[in-house]
Structure 1
Amino acid sequence: MRLSAILPPLAVFALAALLSVVGARAAVGVVEDRSVTAVREALTDEGMSWTSVLGDGLQIILEGEAPSEAVRFRAITVAGTQVDASRVIDNMSVADPDGIAPPEFAIEILRNDGGVTLIGLVPETTDREAMADRISQLSGGITVTDLLESADHAAPESWRPALDFAISSLADLPRSKVSVTAGRVAIVAMTDSPEAKRRLESQLVQRRPDPVRLALDVSAPRPVITPFITRFVIDEDGARFEACAADSEETSRRISRAAREAGFEGSIVCPVGLGVPSRTWGEAVAQGIAAVGELGGGTVTLTDADVTLVAPVGTEQAMFDRVVGELGNDLPELFALEAVLPEPPDETEDEVAEFTATLSPEGLVQLRGRVADALMNTTAENYAKASFGSAEISMGTRISEEVPQGWSVRVLAAIEALSVLENGSVLVRPESFSVSGVSGRQQAQTEISQLLVEKLGPEAEFEVQVRYEESLDPIAALPTPEECLQQITTVTDGRKITFEPGSADITGEAQSVMDDIAEILRRCADLQVEVAGYTDSQGREEMNQRLSQDRAESVLRGLRERRVPVGSFRAVGYGEENPIADNETEEGREANRRIEFSLIDPEAEDAAAGDEETEPTAEVSESAETDGDGNDGDDEQD
């Protein structure tokens, strides 16, 4: 076959092949462009604009740094919805895990009589063994169980102060749960009495470091009263309680009604506690009081289930027998009655044994009168030194064998009763025992009466007249939040917290005002205070608001520098809001430029949550104002 006959068909086939290749490549390019565009738009719609989409023929290549493995997988899935998943090539990387936010470190410290248990997550750098040793030492050597886990992340700045405060507080928290997070400690604890509760709360608040917020939930269960005692007396001085105890508020009210019917007119402090011998305690006490009222005097003492009725000297035998008989038959089951009709005193006795113990307001203890022997004299002196600590003891006793039986017990009881007082005296005689004075303990009179019944017996004659003075009570003497705010109002009357013109810098003249305010706040318990800044209406509104905020924060810094615990304080600038005077006059503008201290009311804030229209004054219960300097608005113009 000739070459000329072969070449034309070959040329036609070659041209067709070339055209097919060009057409195929063009088709692939169109598919590639459309696929890349579709995948890119889908990823952008899903918020994954960080991805880079490339086309390589029919393959789609994804590149870029995914924030996490989950986001990377999501990107592949989204791309697979636009093209066949087998065409998606993953060239993405995942962000360094070190950039992930650290976990929240937290510890639960559980303490009871069995030991301390630690549960939670702490930084890897925490010396857990040293922490456990420190907790054990502070808690009296009890066992510490470590159930903590750790994470290799840096601890927040406020983590260490919170943890140190929580651990140091365990010494005062024998039954508690302490929760620690960065900058916050929450304590749930139980105390033995309301007094211990108040004392613990005050101590914790005072020791709390500034950067740490403290949440307290301290409960005080009803105290255990042992022995359970009520003692009611009617004598020439009138009707009174020398001791009182009840198992419920209803019982306390029943005792009160019975006492008023017998002639009692004062206020009744009848502590409610545990340890009552019978549910019919209130009925028995009311019947005993009624018996004393019917006799026209005397004493009834209920010590647990024992009832002792002592009639006045000179009571007719027939009346005594009738009242005692009725009371003995009416008393509830379990209660046993002992009745005493005292004999008239022997007027032929030449000299009466006597012992006195006195405590002066300056702390001097004087012991005077008879003691049985030299050993008792030494015992009394040593007992007084142990009871009064560093107080000066003045001994004026004399040894005498002519003392009645049980005299030494009465002498030691006198010293112990005196130790409950801030100042006062105790007079001991063979047939009487009287205590008088003042105390900073609300239940001092009841405590002394319980002591004397226990030491001398329920039939013993004694009189206790103790006056409670709140000023001597270290807990009750603490000012209330409202009183603290009122004190700030008093010290700032006619004085100003002033600032440099157009600035948040407190002037030198105002430093003494800041000192006085800081001294008041340091004496107060845990306060939640808002330091609010206000300006007049001159100048631009937004500039006035910013200036008032800066000035409020400046006052807060000044208090912190003066060692005021301001962790629960906040600074708020209200600008020209809430004027208290007319801004059209210079005097009014001067009054409106002020710093105001307000107590934050958490309940009011909770009620106003979500209501942006609520006025700031609705969130405070009391407020104290101090004036600012002049020319707020003028300085902010231009």
Structure 2
Amino acid sequence: MRLSALFLRFAVFALAGILSVIGARATAVFIEERSVIGVREVLIDQGIEWTSVLSDGLQVILEGEAPTEAAAFRAISAAGRVVDASRVIDNMVVAESDAIAPPEFAIEILRNDSGVSLIGLIPATSDREALADRITDIADGQSVADLLEQADYPTPATWRPAMTYALRALEQLPRSKISVTANRVSVDAISDSEAQKRQLEVALTRNQPDGVNVALNITAPRPVISPFTTRFTLDADGARFDACAVNSDEAEAKITAAAQAAGFTGDANCTAALGVPSRTWGDAVALAIKAVGDLGGGTVTIADTDVALVALEGTPQGTFDDVVGGLENALPDVFALASDLPKAPDATSEGPPTFTATRSPEGAVQLRGRVPSDLVNQTAENFALAKFGRDDLTMGTRVVDGLPAGWPVRVLAGIEALSELSNGSVIVQPDQIAIRGNTGNENARADISRLLIEKLGEAAEFDIDVTYVKQLDPVAGLPTPEECVAQISTVTESRKITFDPGSTTLTAETQPIIDDIAEILKLCANLRIQIAGYTDSQGREEMNQQLSRDRAQAVLDALRVRRVPVGTFEAVGFGEADPIADNETADGREANRRIEFSLIVPEPTVEEPTALEQIEQEAAED
């Protein structure tokens, strides 16, 4: 009995142990499965799908190929939020990273009235000291903020030409932002006027570096016009604008439409400007032009809020009254209308008094005609001297009595109008001023109109017939680089640059030649010019090389003294190389001793291989 009870107790204990082991294993399996499932869910939620999750007892094992070290660390951190971090085993490998690409060298340069600032990355081979000196010179006493960093990577072949061009542009643009990379230079700048904008565009378009894209965006502020003027004429010669100022595209569209309805063809060339007296300017001008068309001819001048309408001689009085009455009622309230129907002048034995001013293509000015007094005659002469210079003026006037009131003002206005022309004539009469000639200013007609209206009033009668000649334009008429060098060759073809024997001193006979070359180069700014010196074959080669170099430098220095911008010029000496004549004769040696001017043409750029390409090339060679 006792044995049975003992066996029973032993069996109970054994069963309990077995059940405990089974329960413990089941619990461990459950925990492992839940841990694995929990870690997988967290990794999937965070987009980490490249990791395999395994379990080993209570440990969670992460396997797989992580794209980066950061991605592997993120996977371990995510698993550590589900199970204890000590239970996470890292069996991941990190994928090999690609070769590091070299950074892009780039600079942002900002220049304004406060100074110059630079930020960006430049090659380690750059001469920081030389760059800093150049920027300091450009800043001209203003502050310089240099935030440039350097990196030791291969320098692109086009980096230096791009930087040279950018610094040249920065020197000319006091208010600008310039972005520089090896392949592109982007220039955003503000000019003082439309004329300066055109000049800068011409200068910066020249000598753009090969292999570098250049983007220019130069803007000019709208001019302020006072008085704000538009003048429209319809007569036997057709319809035309002597001046046209607008404040918006909408106003220009209204004015152009009204002019076309009155018979105008062509381009009005209206100037978008500031200073408009009223937002209804376009409506007022369109109504005034329509009135001229309804009259069948005449002239209307709108200066600020004053409207002056002058009909043609012979216009019926009834038609004139109807049109003027309709215009007066239709004009916006701020505009005031003055109208005139001219009568035919009475004939006189001498004809109407006349004052004539002419200017020849060579610049010679003559003043002829009638003036009311010696004082007015002296005033006219002094005014012309101030405008044209003493050497170019010839007086042919005479003092007479009985001239109309306001004649001195008309004479002085005519002289000032002539100064707007390169050549031409101005004829002043009591009822009209006629201006004829050529000009290099595209806006000369409008400028002369505003001048005469300001001096003589809105009702003044004048006829302007001026022709824009591109060759006379100081900007558009500039010669091309090739034309500049060709002009220098023409100057030196019949006259030779010579030096004192065995020296670098220019002879007295050469000074006029240098003067002529300097005048040409002043019109050809921002050229890259090579001044090359050559000698004959007599003497040692090294001495000839140095002498030719020094003589070329002497010519460059002589041009600098004459205020030619020679910053992009280069003086080189070739010694006795490239003879153009026989060195065995005196005439041949004389011909070989010469100075030549030529354009510096950039060499074609060759792209340097990147670091990765260099590695691949070396591997292929091995």
TM-score range, shorter chain: 0.5 to 0.7
The letter for the 2-side match of 1:427 is: I
Whether the 8 Å CA contact 1:368–1:397 is kept in 2: the answer is: yes
Partner of 1:134: 137
Partner of 1:437: 437
Partner of 2:143: 144
Partner of 2:306: 306
Q: 1:564 to 1:290 in 2, by over 3 A?
A: same
CA apart distance, 1:329? 0.8
Residues 495-514 of structure 1: matches in 2 within 5 Å? Answer: none
Partner of 1:175: 175
Q: For 1:265 and 1:104, how far apart are their aligned partners in 2?
A: 54
Q: 1:103 to 1:236 in 2, by over 3 A?
A: closer
Q: 1:101 to 1:309 in 2, by over 3 A?
A: same
Q: For 1:333 and 1:118, how far apart are their aligned partners in 2?
A: 54
Whether the 8 Å CA contact 2:371–2:377 is kept in 1: the answer is: yes
Q: Check if 1:198 corresponds to 2:229.
A: no
Q: For 1:133 and 1:564, how far apart are their aligned partners in 2?
A: 27
SS of aligned partner of 1:356: strand
Partner of 2:263: 263
Q: Deviations over 1:52-99 (max 9, x none)?
A: xxxxxxxxxxxxxxxxxx9xxx9xxxxxxxxx99xxxxxxxxxxxxxx
Q: 1:148 to 1:368 in 2, by over 3 A?
A: farther
Match of 2:599 among 563, 568, 571: 563
CA apart distance, 1:290? 2.0
Q: For 1:196 and 1:334, how far apart are their aligned partners in 2?
A: 36
Between the two proteins, the alignment pairs up a number of residues equal to 401
Partner of 1:368: 368
CA apart distance, 1:331? 0.7
Q: For 2:179 and 2:392, how far apart are their aligned partners in 1?
A: 46
Q: Deviations over 1:283-338 (max 9, x none)?
A: 21221122222223321111122211122345454443332221111012322212
- Pairwise CA RMSD: 4.5
Q: Deviations over 1:24-73 (max 9, x none)?
A: xxxxxxxxxxxxxxxxxxxxxxxxxxxxxxxxxxxxxxxxxxxxxx9xxx
Q: Check if 1:295 corresponds to 2:308.
A: no
Partner of 1:216: 216
CA apart distance, 1:373? 4.8
The letter for the 1-side match of 2:428 is: V
Residues 248-287 of structure 1: matches in 2 within 5 Å? Answer: 248-265=248-265, 267-287=267-287
Q: For 1:295 and 1:243, how far apart are their aligned partners in 2?
A: 20
Partner of 2:412: 412
Q: 1:125 to 1:245 in 2, by over 3 A?
A: closer
Whether the 8 Å CA contact 2:372–2:400 is kept in 1: the answer is: yes
CA apart distance, 1:128? 6.8
CA apart distance, 1:243? 1.7
Partner of 1:620: none
Whether the 8 Å CA contact 1:105–1:155 is kept in 2: the answer is: no
The letter for the 2-side match of 1:293 is: G
CA apart distance, 1:203? 0.7
Partner of 1:398: 398
SS of aligned partner of 1:126: helix
Partner of 1:26: none
Q: 1:202 to 1:323 in 2, by over 3 A?
A: same
SS of aligned partner of 1:309: strand
Partner of 2:462: 462
CA apart distance, 1:356? 1.4
**What TM-score do you get using the length of structure 2 for normalisation?**
0.54
What 5-or-longer segments of structure 1 have no aligned partner?
1-69, 75-83, 86-99, 485-522, 527-560, 572-638
CA apart distance, 1:194? 5.3
Q: Deviations over 1:549-594 (max 9, x none)?
A: xxxxxxxxxxxx96365579999xxxxxxxxxxxxxxxxxxxxxxx
Partner of 2:51: none
Q: For 1:567 and 1:400, how far apart are their aligned partners in 2?
A: 71
Whether the 8 Å CA contact 2:366–2:396 is kept in 1: the answer is: yes
Whether the 8 Å CA contact 2:117–2:147 is kept in 1: the answer is: no
CA apart distance, 1:463? 0.7
Q: For 1:315 and 1:245, how far apart are their aligned partners in 2?
A: 28
Q: 1:351 to 1:108 in 2, by over 3 A?
A: same
The letter for the 1-side match of 2:282 is: G
Q: For 2:111 and 2:173, how far apart are their aligned partners in 1?
A: 8
Q: Check if 1:234 corresponds to 2:234.
A: yes
Partner of 1:327: 327
What 5-or-longer segments of structure 2 have no aligned partner?
1-68, 74-88, 91-99, 484-523, 528-596, 608-622
Q: Deviations over 1:355-402 (max 9, x none)?
A: 212122233222222345555545544544544469733332334565
Whether the 8 Å CA contact 1:108–1:120 is kept in 2: the answer is: yes
CA apart distance, 1:276? 3.0
Partner of 2:581: none
CA apart distance, 1:165? 4.2
Whether the 8 Å CA contact 2:209–2:602 is kept in 1: the answer is: no
CA apart distance, 1:417? 1.9
Q: 1:569 to 1:151 in 2, by over 3 A?
A: closer
CA apart distance, 1:160? 6.0
Q: For 1:168 and 1:121, how far apart are their aligned partners in 2?
A: 19
Q: For 1:168 and 1:293, how far apart are their aligned partners in 2?
A: 53
CA apart distance, 1:279? 3.1
Whether the 8 Å CA contact 1:124–1:153 is kept in 2: the answer is: no
CA apart distance, 1:474? 5.8
Q: 1:426 to 1:145 in 2, by over 3 A?
A: same
Q: 1:388 to 1:210 in 2, by over 3 A?
A: farther
Q: Which moved more, 1:453-462 or 1:156-165?
A: 156-165
Q: For 2:209 and 2:227, how far apart are their aligned partners in 1?
A: 42
Residues 25-44 of structure 1: matches in 2 within 5 Å? Answer: none
Q: 1:366 to 1:293 in 2, by over 3 A?
A: same
Whether the 8 Å CA contact 1:121–1:150 is kept in 2: the answer is: yes
SS of aligned partner of 2:138: helix
Q: For 1:114 and 1:475, how far apart are their aligned partners in 2?
A: 30
Q: 1:151 to 1:469 in 2, by over 3 A?
A: closer
Q: For 2:416 and 2:128, how far apart are their aligned partners in 1?
A: 53
CA apart distance, 1:228? 2.4
Q: For 1:404 and 1:348, how far apart are their aligned partners in 2?
A: 14
Whether the 8 Å CA contact 1:118–1:144 is kept in 2: the answer is: no
Tell me: higher relative CO, structure 1 or 2? Use CA pairs within 8 A at least 6 residues apart.
Answer: 2
Q: 1:368 to 1:225 in 2, by over 3 A?
A: same
Whether the 8 Å CA contact 1:421–1:439 is kept in 2: the answer is: yes
Q: For 1:204 and 1:173, how far apart are their aligned partners in 2?
A: 10
Q: For 1:163 and 1:391, how far apart are their aligned partners in 2?
A: 47
SS of aligned partner of 2:599: coil
Q: For 2:350 and 2:285, how far apart are their aligned partners in 1?
A: 40
Whether the 8 Å CA contact 1:213–1:567 is kept in 2: the answer is: no
Q: 1:294 to 1:214 in 2, by over 3 A?
A: closer
Q: 1:216 to 1:241 in 2, by over 3 A?
A: closer
The letter for the 1-side match of 2:417 is: A
Q: For 1:424 and 1:354, how far apart are their aligned partners in 2?
A: 16
CA apart distance, 1:173? 1.8
Q: For 1:191 and 1:296, how far apart are their aligned partners in 2?
A: 43
Whether the 8 Å CA contact 2:210–2:605 is kept in 1: the answer is: no
